[in-house]
Chain A
């Protein structure tokens, strides 16, 4: 088979694209797997349902060093039924764990606000564990202009 100049160029461009993005994609997958693993550790193998939990994060974060983030869970917060803990995960950070909040019926409301670091544009996941054992999840994509890890 004779390779024309046009074909050769196309092939090499394709190869370069694979070389450039291949490892990057793989790394992203590894982080997502790590995030998935810590999620499963937190839930004890249960698949989280949607609803009840609300994650508030900016759509675009200019500075990845301080991204305000708040989470709230719809619950009565009584001795019989309350939110035990909420964990925050960021699947694109070097380490997906961000923080775990522990609530008690004394909290009155299952809501908390903090500021976090985001290395790049990625999904932020909040998972809530209720006292009856049910698990709820919310996810938000945050676009980051300047990353907030290392440097």
Chain B
């Protein structure tokens, strides 16, 4: 599987106190552990089990993920911005890898 590449959509700028919408997507097969291969053996589970979003280090949103989330997990949520700063995103894989992404926003 290709290395998961996060894609995140955050507005470039916002007014202070505005509630913005953030959209995130990461390519990942999210192998559920329910499927079987041609020989009838169960394909072991490998999913992204946690997603977190923080703003300047303060947690904004987090999600515990189970195998029932579709491949290429997509999340849309909101955040209230009061100052300029950076959003930190992290996806935790079952194999222990963490994929991270950062996006800054300017508050006018």
Asked if B69 contacts A112 (CB within 8 A), the reply is no
Interface size band for B: 20 to 34
- Complex Cα distance A117/B79, Å? 26
Contact flags A58-102 to B (C-beta < 8 A → 1, else 0):
000000011100100000010000000000001001110111111
Determine which of A67, A94, A105 lies in contact with B34 in the assembled complex, contact meaning CB atoms within 8 Å.
A94
Question: Could you say which of B5-13, B59-67, B93-101 contacts chain A?
Answer: B59-67
Looking at B36, B55, B61, B75, the one whose CB has the most chain A CB atoms below 10 A away is: B61
Q: How many residues of A contact B (CB 8 A)?
A: 34
- By DSSP majority rule, is chain B's interface helix, strand, loop, or mixed? strand
Closest residue on chain A to residue B54 by CB atoms:
A106
Whether A115 lies near B59 (C-beta < 8 A) is no
Most buried by B among A97, A102, A105, A116: A102
| B residues neighboring A (CB under 8 Å) | 19-20, 32, 34-36, 55, 58-71, 73-80
Q: What 6 A-B pairs come out closest when comparing CB atoms? A: A108-B80, A108-B19, A113-B76, A102-B62, A115-B70, A97-B66
